[in-house]
Amino acid sequence: MTSATASTPATHSAFTHLFAGVQEAYLLNSTASILGWDQETMMPNGGAELRSRQLSQLARLGHESFTSPKIGELIAAAQDVVHSMPADCADAVNVREISRDYHKATKLPSSLIAELAQTASQAQHAWVEARRESNFKKFQPWLEKTVQLNIQKAQCLGWPKGGEAWDALADYYEPALTAADVTRVFEPLRARLQKLLDRIRGASKQPSNAFNELALPIEAQEKFVRHMAKSIGFDFSCGRLDRSAHPFCGGSHCRDVRMTTRYAPTCVFDALGSTMHESGHGMYEQGLDFAQAGLPMGTAAGLSVHESQSRMWENQVGRSMPFWKWARPQLGAFFEDACDHLTLEHLYQAANVVEPGFIRVESDEATYNMHVMIRFQLERDMLNGNMPIAELPAVWNKMYKDYLGVSVPDDRRGCLQDVHWSMGAIGYFPTYTLGTLLAAQLFERARKDIPGLEDGFTRGEFAPLLSWLRANVHCHGRRYRLDELCRKITGAPLSADPMMRHLEAKLLPLYGLE
């Protein structure tokens, strides 16, 4: 376990002026976040053209505000003060991380920032239409433009000798992460997962999937997942849950967190899993310090840590037997007698059935990371010029056959399923797997630190886990990087072993493979 190092009051004028200037730029960027959420949830189609211009202008203004020479002068003055402070005190962390962000941002021209934002808004709108029609060619020109703009961005930022363009982009989502780092994790992990999947494929015992095959009213599903989000700790007085084509968590600050999910007539667990996943993100955001909003100490510690929060609530909690012992008696309040024929074992099995498929956000724990590995390789190929964008559907489909043994039926369930590339978020995907590894490692530690943790889940007691995460993860903001935070909390470097222990302990008995 860790405890937060006491903060030094920001009374020095260098801090006061620097932090005020950074928070001014943050106001513009947080306003853009709300407009982006609106575009994904409520904006009529006719608003797309002007919205792209609005977002472009806000991105340019925010960038110019943050990269002004005055901010550079204030950073230098603040650095003269913090050198005598503990490196992990709040003010020192804020100065260190602001300086890092500033030096990266000043490498990017405002015109490129504005064009990236406008293209992302237009590309997202085109992606929604292309996905609806399952027609990649309608999105292809936008993806080509997005990739080219990201190549320009990477070239402006630069990358270490021996690296590649992907490294420069990934640094935005997980500081200092490189393609070589990811490859060192992914190659042995794929082999371990493949071995587990091969055993499961050969199993004679098959769990029931009846719960996922049950048709349930969308309105009832919506009430059910909202109840679950509130029960595990999402604060609806500081957030909301809406519908979108792709589930996400956004908003502007810790007191205004915007989550979305999606529903289908069957497979309520997809809506539940997505909602618990986004609730994990949302509770992390709500656990950040409002007084530090817009500063690094009030910002999440990179997307791998963010994903650890969402994956933990989705998997270690939401797929567990204790969770379903608590949840099963409540189904009647939402679905009347539609689920009465399902036993607790049916529900638990449906939450954990292993079935290779096409859709990442609907995938089971054993196959999920294969989806991420595919996207990582495709991103590198697009950036390095090893694959023309026009070939993406064919290459995507081939990789799905090679990795998961499935034949992708159409673009909607293939290369158009994720919103990320339309947003310009290239370099993002590996954080899902790194976060999944961290989730399992953190949860192992939480079980040691909180006696009877999972027994509490059977009674709907999720506050002890959330409080533990608040004290060990959320309170630190960007104080620690991924591996440093992992070591401080768990006493060990990030490893795939806890995740594999988690999967094997659950899935082998479920498939009669003990």
- Summarised one tens digit per residue, pLDDT across range 106-152 is 999 999 999 999 999 999 999 999 999 999 999 999 999 999 999 99
DSSP code for 31: H
* CATH number of the domain where residue 316 is located: 1.10.1370.30
Q: In the predicted model, is pLDDT for residue 6 greater than 90?
A: no
Q: In the predicted model, is pLDDT for residue 1 greater than 60?
A: no
**pLDDT value of position 348:** 97
Asked if residue 305 and residue 208 are part of one domain, the reply reads yes
**pLDDT value of position 276:** 97
Q: In the predicted model, is pLDDT for residue 3 greater than 80?
A: no
**pLDDT value of position 11:** 52
Q: Which amino acid is at 482?
A: L
pLDDT band at 14 (very low <50, low <70, confident <90, very high): confident
Asked if residue 136 and residue 68 are part of one domain, the reply reads yes
State the average pLDDT over residues 9-20.
Answer: 79
Question: Does residue 374 fall inside a structural domain?
Answer: no
**pLDDT value of position 8:** 47
Asked if residue 327 and residue 470 are part of one domain, the reply reads yes
Question: Does residue 494 fall inside a structural domain?
Answer: yes
Question: Does residue 411 fall inside a structural domain?
Answer: no
Query: Which residues on neighbouring strands pair with residue 259, listed in sequence order?
Result: 241, 249
Strand order in the sheet with 239-243: 239-243, 256-261, 249-253
Q: Is 462 within 8 Å of 230 (Cβ atoms)?
A: no
Asked if residue 104 and residue 61 are part of one domain, the reply reads yes
Tokens of 16: 């006061």
**Which residue has 């009529």 as its token pair?**
44
**Which residue has 């567990």 as its token pair?**
320
Q: Is 446 within 8 Å of 465 (Cβ atoms)?
A: yes
Asked if residue 162 and residue 267 are part of one domain, the reply reads no
**pLDDT value of position 127:** 95
| Other CB atoms within 10 Å distance of the CB of residue 390 | 12
Ranking 12-26, 152-166, 182-196, 392-406 by mean pLDDT, the lowest is 12-26
Asked if residue 312 and residue 192 are part of one domain, the reply reads yes
- For residue 39, which of 255, 276, 245 has the smallest C-alpha distance? 245
Q: In sequence order, which ranges of 202-259 are alpha helices (DSSP H)?
A: 218-232
Asked if residue 149 and residue 184 are part of one domain, the reply reads no
Last residue of a domain, one of 170, 200, 227: 170
Question: Does residue 404 fall inside a structural domain?
Answer: no
- CA atoms of 137 and 236, how far apart (whole Å): 40
% the chain with pLDDT above 90: 94
Taking only the tens place, the pLDDT of each residue in 177-235 is: 999 999 999 999 999 999 999 999 999 999 999 999 999 999 999 999 999 999 999 99
Taking only the tens place, the pLDDT of each residue in 320-329 is: 999 999 999 9
Catalytic residues: 278
Listing DSSP states for 382-426 in one string gives HHHTSS-GGGHHHHHHHHHHHHH-----SSTTTTTS-SGGGGT-T
**Which residue has 């947080």 as its token pair?**
30
Residue span of the structural domain in which 125 resides: 13-170
Taking only the tens place, the pLDDT of each residue in 296-345 is: 999 999 999 999 999 999 999 999 999 999 999 999 999 999 999 999 99
Cβ neighbourhood burial of 162 (10 Å; 0-12, 13-18, 19+): exposed
Question: Does residue 35 fall inside a structural domain?
Answer: yes
Average pLDDT, the chain: 95
Q: In the predicted model, is pLDDT for residue 10 greater than 70?
A: no
Asked if residue 82 and residue 157 are part of one domain, the reply reads yes
Asked if residue 294 and residue 267 are part of one domain, the reply reads yes
Last residue of a domain, one of 139, 170, 201: 170
Pairing, β 239-243 against β 249-253: unpaired
**pLDDT value of position 246:** 84
Asked if residue 471 and residue 451 are part of one domain, the reply reads yes
**Which residue has 């959330």 as its token pair?**
466
Question: Does residue 506 fall inside a structural domain?
Answer: yes
Asked if residue 122 and residue 57 are part of one domain, the reply reads yes
Question: Does residue 261 fall inside a structural domain?
Answer: yes
Taking only the tens place, the pLDDT of each residue in 59-110 is: 999 999 999 999 999 999 999 999 889 999 999 999 999 999 999 999 999 9
Asked if residue 191 and residue 165 are part of one domain, the reply reads no
Angle in degrees, 0-180, between the axes of helices 497-510 and 344-352, rounded to the nearest 10: 130
- CA atoms of 360 and 399, how far apart (whole Å): 14
Last residue of a domain, one of 145, 170, 195: 170
- What's the structural domain count of the chain? 2
C-alpha atoms less than 13 angstroms from C-alpha of 116 in its C-beta half-sphere? 22
Question: Does residue 402 fall inside a structural domain?
Answer: no
User: C-alpha distances in angstroms, 34 versus 27, 43, 125, 251, 349?
Assistant: 11, 11, 16, 6, 38
- CA atoms of 33 and 297, how far apart (whole Å): 19
